[in-house]
Amino acid sequence: MTDGTNDQNGLSVPALLVSLLSPEKVWLGLAVALAPLAALADLLPYAILSYSVGAVLSGQGRPDDLVLLAGLVGAALVLKYLFYSLAYYFSHVAAFRLLADIRQTLVRRLAAAPMNWLYRNSSGHLKKIVVQDVERLEQFIAHHTVECLAAASSPLFVALVLAWIDWRLAAAAVLTVPLAALAQAALMRGLGPRIEAYSRAIGDLNGASVEYVRNAPVMKAFGLNAHSFQRMRDLLTRYHDLITAMTRQTVPGWSVFMVLLGANLVFLLPVSLWLVRQGTISPAETILALTLGSFMLKPLFKVAHFSSEIREIAAGLRRLAPLLAFAPSQDSAARETPPTLWLSFRHVSFAFESRPVLKDVSFTLVAGTVTALVGPSGAGKSTIAHLIGGLAPPGSGDILVNGMPLSGLGDAERGAWITVAAQDAFLFRGTLLENVRLGRPDATDEDVHRAARIAQVADFVATLPDGFATMVGEQGTRLSGGERQRIAIARALLTDAPLLVLDEATAFADSRTERRFYQSLREAYPDKTLLIIAHRLTSIEHADQILVLKDGELVDCGRHESLISRCSLYHTLWQRQFDSETWTIRPGETADAALS
């Protein structure tokens, strides 16, 4: 099995850009060739008009020349729009082809990305890469490539014309450029980290916005507003502070830059008048020099503006690079899925952002048995499920499956051997049948209905007019939390993996449904190895093994009967749940009776 990377991971940003643009070099080459020609055609009318004015002032103009000059101006305008139209056409073709190619490549790379990489990157961050970063590159190629080249070419053509008239005119016209460049350099000094921080803030804000929109109905039901969503509020404040700091840093330097680029006439005008008085240049050449020189450096405003956009594109390419580097895993010959599976943690430790989450944890899931994982919130229960599911590698220690390192399994093998059903059940837009069949697309209807019966899905599906053909919204928004979880469990069961991890997968189910589910599961799959992380201890009372965690450490392990007498933490957890289920409002009346 490969490590999922290729040579692109070591490419610099320019090299990566070249590799991405290489397939569209013909289209881009045509756009690049036509943009300077369009800029040249844009200057011709001014040169023609300047020549006409000079001819009239010198008394050499003839009425017949006006018709010819008007025709030349018209021809120059036609050429300008023709060159621009063709340049934009070619750049748009290249950009759209590039957009499609990158998006298709990213989809393939996402499918090949390691689980732990996907786990570390939020949906908002991935959305920024796949949508915003790619679109920014596409828009620059489609629109700004032509504009930038034309804007850079125009001053060069004017400088050549001025140098042809007299080199001193060209020198005077560009005298402010070095000063403006120094102002621009001072402006950008230290701005790189702020731009990176700005990009990260946008990614975090995207993720929080998605979360906020998803939770909007719940917040509205409780009369909450955006200020109640603390994370969104903090990120908006951070974004505002970054923008304010960047504005304060850039505005003074940008103002100096603009003033200097627009001040070249301060030097060009006296030099032109001095040269014409010396008889070195003619009045017509003076008018031409002043006309062209007056707007000579204005296109550089666009170039300077595009430079900040280019920096953002470079930052986006740096985010794209790791994802583009993932190559489809070349798994060795796939091993046959074993009928039973045992799993062992051996002195496993794990830390998240330098905070220890698991500390030297060791246990074994015996093949064909039920193991329950209990403990207070934050004990590390879900982290164990994540490690088993391959969402993150252990910091130290080993995880073995049937005696082999878990890390040695390929993606396909791990998916066939181990299935993890989490509390946050994700459903796609589509029918209930399509969502269940994601677990095994080639499953028969009989297999689907069997998994649905065990997961207690059949009961509520039978009440729907369209049954399994019922459409559900993205994230399963048309279903209750318990219904979404049952669909996700049916999907997990359909994979028929020998090891099933249920990470509070029945948290939204009522106790009766939960008990029926576990009973049906053991009856239907007696050889399946189960790891259950449950919030109701009564549902795991009959487990073959119960692991008790606290603060990332395994404090005890055994069956319910022995733990209830010797493990104070387990006894406390059991007593708290027992008290919560038997509290009364009036003497002799239980909670269930009071609510009935």
Per-residue model confidence as pLDDT tens digits over 36-83: 999 888 888 887 877 777 666 666 656 666 677 778 888 888 999 999
Centroid of chain to Cα 268? 50
Residue 480 is assigned to a structural domain of this protein = yes
Who wins on pLDDT, 234 or 89?
89
DSSP state of 223: T
- Is residue 294 a part of any domain in this protein? no
Q: Is residue 593 part of a domain?
A: no
**In terms of domains, do 24 and 83 share one?**
yes
Q: How far is CA 132 from CA 89, 122, 315, 397, in A?
A: 23, 15, 12, 40
Asked if 588 and 547 touch (Cβ cutoff 8 Å), the reply is no
The tens digit of pLDDT for each residue in 354-411 reads 788 899 999 999 999 999 998 888 888 888 988 888 888 888 999 999 999 988 887 7
User: Does residue 583 lie in a domain region?
Assistant: no
Q: Quick one: 480 and 388 in the same domain?
A: yes
Q: What is the CB-side half-sphere exposure of residue 484 using CA atoms within 13 A?
A: 21
Return the SS3 of 553.
strand
The confidence score (pLDDT) of residue 592 equals 46
The domain that holds 487 is classified in CATH as 3.40.50.300
Reading the block at residue 288, the tokens are 């031409």
Specify whether 324 is located in the same domain as 350: no
Which residue range forms the structural domain that includes residue 415? 343-567
Looking at the fold, whether 405 and 487 belong to one and the same domain comes out as yes
pLDDT at 145 over 80: yes
Residues 483 and 413 occupy one common structural domain: yes
Q: Which residues of 348-372 are buried (b: 16+ CB within 10 A; e: fewer)?
A: bebeeeeeebbeebebebebbbbbb
356 in the same domain as 311: no
Does 190 fall in a domain?
Answer: no
Are residues 462 and 560 part of one domain? yes
Q: Is residue 266 part of a domain?
A: no
Whether the model pTM is above 0.85: no
Phi-psi region of 59 (alpha: psi -120 to 50; beta: other; left: phi over 0): left
Token duo for residue 476: 């399963």
Q: State the total domains in the chain.
A: 2
Residue 480 predicted with pLDDT over 70? yes
| Higher local confidence (pLDDT), 305 or 488 | 488
Mean pLDDT of the chain: 79
CA 14 to chain centre: 21
Please check whether residues 398 and 541 belong to one and the same domain.
Answer: yes
Q: Is residue 390 domain-resident?
A: yes
Instruction: Report how far residue 528's alpha carbon sits from residue 558's, in angstroms, rounded to the nearest whole number.
Output: 20
Same domain, 455 and 548: yes
**Token couple for 247:** 């504005």
CB 382 within 8 A of CB 370: no
Q: Kindly state the average pLDDT of the residues 170-175.
A: 86
> Does one domain contain both 448 and 353?
yes
Same domain, 548 and 402: yes
Above 80 in pLDDT, residue 342? yes
The answer to the question of residue 389 being in a domain is yes
| Mean pLDDT calculated for residue range 152-169 | 88
pLDDT of residue 360: 92
Work out the average pLDDT over 550-561. 91
Q: Are 309 and 414 members of one domain?
A: no
pLDDT of residue 303: 77
Supply the CATH number for residue 82's domain: 1.20.1560.10
565-593 tens-digit pLDDT: 898 888 888 887 766 555 555 555 544 44
In sequence order, which residues have a C-beta less than 8 Å from that of residue 5 and are 6 or more positions away?
A: 325, 326, 327
pLDDT digits (tens, 9 = 90+) for 256-312: 777 877 778 888 888 888 988 888 887 778 888 888 888 788 787 777 777 777 777
What is the Cα–Cα distance from 297 to 170, expressed in whole angstroms? 12
pLDDT at 436 over 70: yes
**DSSP β-bridge partners for residue 349:** 396
Give the DSSP letter of residue 590: B
